[in-house]
Each structure stands twice: as C-alpha cells, then as structure tokens.
Structure 1
C-alpha cells in the first residue's frame, strides 16, 4: 500500500487522486529507486502495467480505495462532527499527517509496538513538529484486545468525543476475533460513532480460481506472511452490521469505487473486485 501511494504521488497534481509525501520513506532502497523512476511518465506507466500483469487489479483498487476512505474521513469530520479518529492496525497509514480535514481532530493509531517504532523513526526524519494531535497505542493482537490496551483517557472521553474507527484489511480469523471484541467495545460509545472496515468477499476464499488473478495474489500474500482465511458475504453485510447495532451507510467492491474515481477508465480496470469497503454507523 505504501508503494502504491508513493507511485500515485509522483503524478502531476492535476492527475493524481491524492498526495502522500511520506509513503516512500517506508520503502526499501530498491523500491525507492523505482519511485524515483516513476517521475518519468513512461516508466510509471510501465511499472503500473507490470503490477497489473503480476497482481491484477491491486494497484488501481488500492488507489481508488485510499481516495474513498480519505473522502469518508474528511466528510465525517467536516459534516458529521467527528473529532477523534482511531486507526486500528495502522501500519504505514499517514492520514493523520496528510489529510486537510479543516477542523481540530485527534488521531489515535493502534498497532504492534515494533511496527510503530519503525514508522515513528522514519516519520520523525521528515516531520519535526507534527501539526496534529496523534497518540500511539501499542497492541499485540496475539496477546491483547483493543479494550485491554486502550488508555482509560480514551474511554473516559468517548462521551465527549465523536469517534470514527478505521480498520483496513479484516482478512483473517484472528482479526475477526478482534473485530468482534471491537464491535463489543464500540457499543459503549454514543450513537453516531462510525466504523470503516475493508474486507474480502468470502466467495474469493471459497472459489479462488473464479476470480481473476487471485491465486497469484494469494501466493504473494502467503510468502509475505499474510494468510487470508476470513471474509464476509456482501449479500448479508446489512444483517451482519445490524446484529452489531450498526447501520450500513456504504458498501462496495473495487468495481464500484474505481468507477467513482476513475470514471470511464475504470471499464478497463479488472481484478480485485472482491475487496470491499463498508462504512457503518452506531445506532
């Protein structure tokens, strides 16, 4: 995801969907060299074509999905009076530093301490004085749950702050157990609390060969230590969220959000349609 955001950020301002000046800092030297080459339009197009060939749909879906969630976050702050954003498994998310939400807002990033240490060390080289309030909460998902580690301060403030939870990549049974604990934790928040989650359509796990390029993508994920073994049925997502006292405000796969941001060009963008975004609101 950091690589894809960095590629998008090399485009001219009038062409790109967003700008992330920090994404390249998390990449290896080899990938940073590729990003330097992407400032040449021909090279950037060749790299995008290579990614599409190897991992169909991942690049265009990731860019459109990032922009979609960016817009959801900004809208939540500006129109729904959200003033606290809690990002779960934040990894190299940089929204706290790059989004112009137009209002005072606090960010909380929850992640493994090793990931946070690496991320902070890279960001501090670029950002000497952060312009936003950002708290880091350490969470080892193999040993702890969100409700166990979240500071009592955040719990006490939940009735004064209006909160949005963001969790990208709900893809494993371990994460699903944490999601259930998260939804239970969120029930104690006021109505209007928002949740944005990304997830794979469970059909891609049941019939992987019926989805363009997924077998190759899945092999790459496994080599990287990401073993997708959990998905949701989008046909039942409204009922799923209703059981957790949530109302669905948006649900769509890559075909939907690519069309939203790429327009007619999206007709030629194939692959990764099974990866979805759902936005819900606490009743």
Structure 2
C-alpha cells in the first residue's frame, strides 16, 4: 500500500531546491497554471501570467513527462485532498472581491506577502489605483525581474515594498512607501497570516484598524489552530502541517474554530463575514466542476473598518 506521509516526486524536489525565493509562492503559481490549462468552461480562476513564475525545470518535466506529471498531481491530491481546489477558489474569491471593491470606489490596494500575485497586472481597473506589494526582498527581487521581462518595465501604478513582516515595522514601511490612510483601502492577505507569529499578526491588524479610512476592508484566509499545532483530527490537516514544515515554511498562526468574529471585533473590525469551504464550494464548483472536492480547513474572512 502506498504511503502518503509526504509527496516525494520530481516537481516537489525541484521546488525544494535552495533558491532565494519562496517555495510556496511558486507552488501556488503552479496551481494557477494548472487551472489555466483547463477548458474555459471549467476554470475556477484565470491567470495568464502564472506560467512566467514557474521554474523552467518544472515546465520541462511536465512537457516531457505528461503521464508522470499527471500521476504526481493525482498523488498530491490524495495526500492533501481538496487543497488545490480550495486554493484556486481562494484566488477566484479574492479576485471577485477586488473587482467588487473597485466598483465601490476603492482607492488603494495593499497586498501583503504578495509573492507571485498578479492581480495588479491582470485585473481591469487596478491601473487607475495605487497598488502596494509588500514581500521579502529575495522573493520580490525575483518577481520584479519576471515583471520586467513580461512588460519590459515595472508598471507605474505598483509600489514594491521590500519587507520582512516577521521583523520589520509593517506600518512604518507602508507609510514611508506612500500609503494614504485617508483613502479607502483594501488589504489582501492571501496565504500569509498563518506563516507569521501571532504577535506580528496582531500588529498588522491593529495598524490596519487604526490607520485606515472608514469603509476600508481586509480580506484573508486562515486555518484552525489545530492545523498549526499539528493536533488536527483530520489526516489532511496533519499532512498539511508536516508538509509545510518539510518545505521550510511552517505554519505559526491559526484561529480557534468558531471564534473568527470575536477575534476580529477585538482588533477593531466590523461587518465580519466568514466564508467556509462549503460556501465557496457552492459558489464556484458547479456543472462540470460539481465533483471537485474542497478542503474544509481553508476558510476566508473579510471585515470592514467603520
């Protein structure tokens, strides 16, 4: 019987090679690329730039070994059932929220832990706004190099802010970069908060609630505490915890189940909405996608500053 203790395969070995950029950032881009090659009627999200952020070795392996690549994808899905579908649903939900915010008068977008996020370059309307991308200098330098190759230059509407969120003063760095607390803002934290120590999560959220204009929003995803400490009763939760430890990017922050509203109210937010796996499954996985399972451990939440 095949052991699923860890997803050892050629693609993960390439991702695990020591490089000055984030393993998870590239892994998420790979999930977006796999969604891109689905028939248009079956795509949950659409990112035409994802391919530029994938290691050429991975792309070559997939091209030259389609059967092996398919088998590795299937094995990963058995190891973390529903996780990839939850991730692409997260991309779609965050995209939809950004588009809705633009229609409602958004003036600036702040993407924390931007990784290889491509929203600033593919969502219509964002070029008229100021977009701040904050991430570690190593990952950001790789990304800006790719952006220059795609567009021949860096776009004027994006401000790149190099920062180590677990060490540096997030609020000060953002303000120094030109953030205007009088303008309506949306703070995106996709695949981020659970990699930070709780102390820094609090500092980020308290800064946002105190230094943002009324009508500004936060949007993030999170795991229950049991996934972070490895005590999750679900095998997928334990696999996820152990896999990220082995990837060198362990989880550090979670929210106790059923407490998201209290957690955010205590930090100055209101109009809180929690989006469960069951809810985004109903939203996006219909028709040809109705049999695609999601992972119950991935939840999204958004809230407003009033």
Q: TM-score, structure 2 length as denominator?
A: 0.81
2:164 corresponds, among 121, 124, 140, to 140
Assess if the C-alpha contact under 8 Å between 2:195 and 2:251 holds in 1: yes
Gaps of 5+ in 1: none
Over the residues paired in the alignment, what is the CA RMSD in angstroms? 2.6
2:51 paired with 1:24: yes
Secondary structure of the corresponding residue to residue 17 of structure 1: coil
Cα distance in 1 for residues equivalent to 2:69 and 2:42: 13
The Cα of 1:255 is off from its aligned counterpart by 3.0
Matches within 5 A, 1:1-283: 1-33=28-60, 36=63, 48-78=73-103, 80-101=104-125, 104-129=128-153, 133-152=157-176, 154-155=178-179, 157-159=180-182, 161-168=183-190, 169-174=192-197, 176-186=198-208, 187-205=210-228, 208-263=231-286, 268-270=291-293, 272-283=295-306
Instruction: Indicate how the Cα distance of structure 1 residues 167 and 276 shifts in structure 2: closer, same or farther if over 3 A, else same.
Output: same
SS of residue in 1 equivalent to 2:168: coil
> How far off is 1:243 after superposition?
1.4
Q: CA deviation at 1:30?
A: 3.1
2:264–2:272 contact (8 Å) kept in structure 1: no
Quote how far apart the aligned CAs of 1:47 are: 5.5
Structure 1 position 130, deviation (Å): 5.5
Unaligned runs of 5+ in 2: 1-27
- Cα offsets for 1:132-173 (capped at 9, x unmatched): 610001112343121121243634x221x2100011231145
Aligned equivalents of 1:112, 1:13: Cα separation in 2: 34
1:44–1:262 CA distance, 2 compared to 1 (3 A): farther
Instruction: Compute the displacement of 1:248 (Å).
Output: 3.7
Q: Any idea what the Cα deviations from partners look like across 1:59-103, whole Å, max 9, x if unmatched?
A: 11111111011101110111x211210000111111111112477
User: What is the number of equivalent residue pairs in this alignment?
Assistant: 277
Cα 1:256–1:44 change in 2 (3 A) is: farther
C-alpha contact 1:77 1:103 (8 A) present in aligned 2: no
CA contact (8 A) 2:111 2:131 kept: yes
Aligned counterparts of 2:52 and 2:96: Cα–Cα separation in 1: 24
Q: SS at the partner of 1:278?
A: strand
Query: Aligned equivalents of 2:100 and 2:68: distance in 1?
Result: 35
Q: What is the Cα deviation at residue 46 of structure 1?
A: 5.3
With the length of structure 1 as denominator, give the TM-score of the two structures. Answer: 0.87
Distance 1:261 1:44 in 2: 26
Q: CA deviation at 1:264?
A: 6.3
In structure 2, distance between residues paired with 1:96 and 1:268: 32
